Every structure is written in structure tokens, then in C-alpha cells.
């Protein structure tokens, strides 16, 4: 009997907090099955000795935020048959991309004594530089989604992206609608697949899994305005995890324009 060849897997990290990799390690008993059923040759967080490619599958955590990381993601893509963006940072830029909406003076100067040594660029998802085969959304992603994707690839199947909002899982879990309770929940426009983990604990969805491709964002923005949230509030809602995505970026751009106009109005009033 011919045994199927084990997948050669690499797990990499760019600009990130390493939380997505910790989520993988949190699989505990399932992790032993993964290590015995696949050939994980590159995983610096879990292995002392790591090999270079080629890889059947590469999972990449983190945003691209330096020139060196641009080179790294292109090399990983070249060495991999199948590439997975692991988490919000790899998918959209995530939390690191918040800096893209502010000036260097606002973000870097208060933290560093000198910005001369900083060689940062825009923090973007890896899809801005290379072809991505699967986006595993979330901050962190659901560890069981990682397990599902890997098992599908092990048997030669191409995993399908979840194509439903967080609200679907929230209703299935019989949670009360937090929007109806005046909280700025982003569940209606956010990719599902997390089993509404935050809402199960009565914490409103902050959109960490990024926007559904067909999400209708404008009605939700108008609802936030009726709730009394300011343009600055709304900007923060949409820049928290996926502000660089095409859908959320349009909202951020509009709110930034309004904030800028309000700022200039205030200055004119003060001068007058």
C-alpha cells in the first residue's frame, strides 16, 4: 500500500504580535495529530531547527511593513504551492495598519527618540504584494478553521472561504442583537467563521475578520450616526483591523474628509 506523501508545511511571521501562531499552538491534542500527519519543516515558534522551501503550504502571519518583509513574502510565495494569509494582519494589515491613517509625527515621534533608524513602509496585507490562495481572517483566527483548512489540503481539497456574516452565527447561538441595544456592532458586514465568539460573551463585534465582499456598509454607518457616534468614532471603528481593505477604506476616507473639514471650521471660528 502506497502511503500519501505528507504535506511540507511552513509557518512564517512578519509584523505581528504572534497571536495567530499561539492560536495554532493552543490546539493542544490536535497539534500532535498535525505534527504526525504533516511535515512542518519551518515554524520558528515551535521548532529549534527550521528548513527553507519549497513548501506545499505556507501560512504567513503578519503585515508587510518594511522593505525586508516585501522581499520575504515574495520569496515565500515563490517557494510555496499554496499560500494562506493567517489572521487580520496578513489579510488586511490589521492593527499595524492603523499607522497608515496618521502622520509620522502622530505615530512614531512620540515613541522613538529618533526616527532615522526606522525603515517602515505602509503596513499592508500580503495580498498587496503576492497572490494569496486563502484568507484566514480574524485577530486571531479561529484555531479550528486552521485545522479545517489544513485537513482539506491534506486530502487534496481546496478549502472554501466562509461567505456569510458574523450575524448568521450570532443568531444560531441565540445571542441578543447588540446593535438593537445601542452598541456599535459590526457583525452585519464582517466575515463570519468565528462562531460569533465575542458576541457569545456579550462583546460587540469590532470587525476583526474584515468586510464581506458584498457588504452594504452605508446603512450601518448611518445607524452609527443616529446612535450619536462622531465621525472620529466611526473612523476608529473601521480602521481598527481592516482599514486598508477597499470596502472599509472608502468609509475611512469619507470620515477623514469630514473630520478635516470640521477641524478647519473650528480654526476659522477661533480666528473669527
DSSP letters, the chain, are -PPPPPPEEEEEE-BS-SHHHHHHHTTTHHHHHHHHHSEEEE-TTT-SS-----EEEEEEESBB-SHHHHHHHHHHHHTEEEEEEESHHHHH-TGGGGGGGS-HHHHTTTT-S-STT------B-GGGTS--SEEE-SSSPPHHHHHHHHHHHHTT--PPPP-SBHHHHHHHTT---STTTT----GGGBB--STTTTGGGT-----TT-B-TT--HHHHHHHHHHHT--HHHHHHHHHSS-TTSHHHHHHHHHHHHHHHHHHHHHHHHHH-
- Is residue 85 located within the same domain as residue 41? yes
Q: Which domain holds residue 220?
A: 166-271
Could you give the angle at the alpha carbon of 256 between the alpha carbons of 255 and 258, nearest 5°?
65
Question: How many separate domains does the chain show?
Answer: 2
Look up the CATH number of the domain holding residue 124.
3.40.50.700
Per-residue pLDDT of the chain (272 residues; tens, 9 = 90+): 345 678 999 999 999 999 999 999 999 888 888 888 899 999 999 989 999 989 999 999 999 999 999 999 999 999 999 999 999 999 999 999 999 988 877 888 888 877 777 788 999 999 999 999 999 999 999 999 999 999 999 999 999 998 999 999 999 999 999 999 999 999 999 999 999 999 999 999 999 999 999 888 999 999 999 999 999 999 999 999 999 998 998 888 776 555 444 434 444 444 44
Q: Is residue 159 part of a domain?
A: no
What pTM does this model have?
0.88
- Is residue 98 located within the same domain as residue 193? no
Q: Is residue 160 part of a domain?
A: no
Q: Is residue 3 part of a domain?
A: no
- Is residue 52 located within the same domain as residue 133? yes
Amino acid at each position: 500500500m502506497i502511503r500519501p506523501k505528507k504535506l511540507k508545511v511552513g509557518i512564517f511571521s512578519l509584523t505581528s504580535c504572534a497571536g495567530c501562531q499561539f492560536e495554532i499552538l493552543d490546539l493542544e491534542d490536535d497539534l500532535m495529530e498535525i505534527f504526525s500527519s504533516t511535515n512542518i519543516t519551518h515554524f520558528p515558534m515551535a521548532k529549534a531547527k527550521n528548513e527553507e522551501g519549497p513548501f506545499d503550504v505556507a501560512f504567513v502571519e503578519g503585515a508587510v511593513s518594511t522593505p525586508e518583509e516585501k522581499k520575504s513574502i515574495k520569496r515565500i510565495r515563490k517557494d510555496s504551492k499554496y499560500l494562506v494569509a493567517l489572521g487580520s494582519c496578513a489579510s488586511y494589515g490589521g492593527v499595524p495598519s492603523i499607522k497608515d491613517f496618521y502622520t509620522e509625527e502622530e505615530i512614531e515621534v512620540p515613541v522613538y527618540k529618533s526616527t532615522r533608524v526606522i525603515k517602515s513602509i505602509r503596513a499592508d496585507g500580503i495580498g498587496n504584494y503576492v497572490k494569496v490562495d486563502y484568507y484566514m481572517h480574524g485577530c486571531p483566527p479561529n484555531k479550528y478553521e486552521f485545522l479545517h483548512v489544513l485537513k482539506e489540503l491534506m486530502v487534496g481539497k481546496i478549502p472554501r472561504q466562509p461567505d456569510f456574516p458574523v450575524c448568521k452565527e450570532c443568531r444560531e447561538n441565540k445571542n441578543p442583537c447588540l446593535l438593537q441595544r445601542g452598541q456599535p456592532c459590526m457583525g452585519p458586514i464582517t466575515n463570519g467563521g468565528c462562531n460569533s465568539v465575542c458576541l457569545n460573551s456579550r462583546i460587540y463585534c469590532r470587525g476583526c475578520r474584515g468586510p464581506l465582499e458584498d457588504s452594504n456598509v452605508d446603512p450601518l454607518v448611518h445607524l452609527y450616526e443616529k446612535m450619536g457616534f462622531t465621525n472620529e468614532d466611526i473612523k476608529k471603528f473601521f480602521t481598527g483591523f481592516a482599514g486598508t481593505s477597499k470596502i472599509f477604506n472608502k468609509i475611512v476616507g469619507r470620515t477623514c474628509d469630514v473630520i478635516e473639514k470640521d477641524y478647519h471650521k473650528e480654526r476659522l471660528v477661533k480666528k473669527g
